Structure 1
Amino acid sequence: MVKLTKTELISEAVVLFNEKISPDESNAKPISTESLFVTHNTLGKLALALKCDKYTFSKLLAGTQIYIPPKPEKKADPEFDARMKRLRVRLQEQEYQEMIASAVPELSSSFLEPFEKKEIKQQISVIINIMFSVVSVAFAVWVWGGSSLNTGKRLLLSMFAGVVVLIAEVALYTGYIQRIDDARKKEKWKKEVKEVINTVEFVPSTRQVLEKKERAV
């Protein structure tokens, strides 16, 4: 059942309908004039009862809108408000802790950035040197086999030589990195021992000078 807003024409029709109802008619019930809305069934009932060109169903329907009841007012709840306040404080504290936690890695990364750049440059340089060695050896083998081998054998031989050089270069670099790591670990666990070999006093202390003067007197 669709609820519609009242217009002035509908209000007039309701008043006329209530005046027209005879007290003897048990089936006919008056329509409330205080209600803020009417149903489409009520509009049809008014049109049939009044039977007038002014109060036809289409004219009564003109200007109406879907009735939307107002939202009920929320009652103040002190306990609920206090709970929401505690949740807001907890949420603000959590956001603050997350902000601090996210700021610490940024500081550490900015501090380590020069060392990381240096390491990346070193790795790129090693890769370029290895690729240069592989290409050089492969090209040298290709040129060397030009006079005695066909194209297929020259290609296979140059590729094989390049792969051998690549494996050797990678093995050498891996061993170099491993030796550096081992040396760092050994130096880390070594205890630094300091020993005083000799002491030299360039200027006598004031106390010694005073003691000498007292002995002379």
Structure 2
Amino acid sequence: MVLLTMTPAIVATILKCQELDPESLIKFQLPSEPSLAEPEVGNPISHSQLIDISKLVKNHPGQINLSPHLDGLLRGSKIYTPPTEPKPEPTSEYKALMARLRKEEEARAYERMLSPVSSPKSSIRHYPTIANASLYSTAVDRTEDEDEVTYADVNRQIILIINVLISIVACSVFIWIAARHWSTPKRLGLSMAGSGVIAVAEVVIYGGYVRRVQEAKQREKKKPEIKSILESWVIDGASEKENISMKSPADKSDETLRHRKGKHR
């Protein structure tokens, strides 16, 4: 059901119909439609009620000096939008809760304003995650090192592939130019054979290089690792530097020791 707003013409027509034929106007009033008892500008009225009122005006042509046509009644009317419902009044429990929260927030703000600058111990007490931050630094550093190593390996592999391709292409072009007096099939076969030989040689050389690197790493891992404290710090005190060596006279020489390499922070 479409509801429209009453215009001054609709209000005047309804008032005139109430004077001439109130019984017919009462028949137009259905339970599901807006009331026409007290018409005012802006009140809702259904489209079917306007049609019935237009027909009623046509039945009294000389008694109502208004336009009996429906378009005359609809002129200036708009879609009726019901007013928004007022917000419900908050309950007493809600008001009491909000008042208590405001008082607590004011008390906390007053304490923060009066309290001195927090010390490191109090900061650690309020924020315990700060004390445990050092537990995660090693994992983060290790992840960064792994990312750098992975990037270096990928970069080295790409450069190696480019070098191999350049060597193969350069060798095939050189053989093709050098054998320019031969027939085309022979030049093509010789160039392809030379390129294949160069490719095999590059693969063999790289395989030997990788094998030697792996053997060197294995030999390095077999060497015993000795850790020593190079320097120590005392918080809230003078800096103390100590060189505490943990080697014993029976330890092996430096040539058989494995030294740890990495970033020093």
Structure 2 unmatched runs, 5+: 30-34, 59-63, 95-138, 227-246, 252-265
Matched, 1:38 2:50: no
Tell me: CA distance 1:28–1:108, structure 2 relative to 1, closer, same or farther (3 Å): same
Alignment-derived partner of residue 249 in structure 2: 196
- Structure 1 residue 12, shift from structure 2 partner: 2.0
Q: In the alignment, does 2:206 pair up with 1:173? A: yes
* Aligned residue among 130, 142, 150 for 2:176: 142
Larger RCO (CA under 8 A, 6+ residues apart)? 1
Q: Deviations over 1:48-97 (max 9, x none)?
A: 21234523311110011122334545656999xxxxxxxxxxxxxxxxxx
**Equivalent position of 1:20 in the other structure:** 20
In the alignment, residue 184 of structure 2 is paired with which amino acid?
Answer: T
TM-score normalized by the length of structure 2:
0.49
Counterpart of 2:66 in 1: which secondary structure?
Answer: helix
8 Å CA contact retained: 2:18, 2:25: no
The gaps in structure 1 that reach 5 residues or longer are 80-104, 199-217
Give the distance between the partners of 2:37 and 2:141, measured in 1 at CA.
74
**Match of 1:164?**
197
Q: Name the CA distance, whole Å, in 2 between partners of 1:135 and 1:28.
A: 98
User: How many angstroms apart in 2 are the aligned matches of 1:133 and 1:118?
Assistant: 23
Alignment of 1:31-180 (within 5 A): 31-33=36-38, 36-51=43-58, 52=64, 54-56=66-68, 57-72=70-85, 75=88, 118-119=152-153, 121-147=155-181, 149-180=182-213
Q: CA RMSD in A?
A: 4.1
Whole-angstrom distance in 1 between the partners of 2:16 and 2:157: 97
**Which stretch shifts more, 69-78 or 31-40?**
69-78
Deviation string 1:101-134 (CA, Å, 9 cap, x unpaired) is xxxx999887777656654553444234323321
CA shift digits 1:121-157 (9 cap, x unpaired):
534442343233212321333244333x311221132
Checking the alignment, whether the CA contact within 8 Å between 1:137 and 1:161 is kept in structure 2 is yes
Structure 2 CA distance, aligned partners of 1:196 and 1:27? 120
Classify 1:196/1:44 alpha carbon distance in 2 versus 1 (closer, same or farther; 3 Å): same
Change beyond 3 A, Cα 1:157–1:70: farther
Structure 1 residue 190: Cα displacement: 4.0
CA distance 1:50–1:34, change in 2 (3 Å): closer
Give the SS at the match of 1:38.
Answer: strand
| Whole-angstrom distance in 2 between the partners of 1:28 and 1:5 | 17
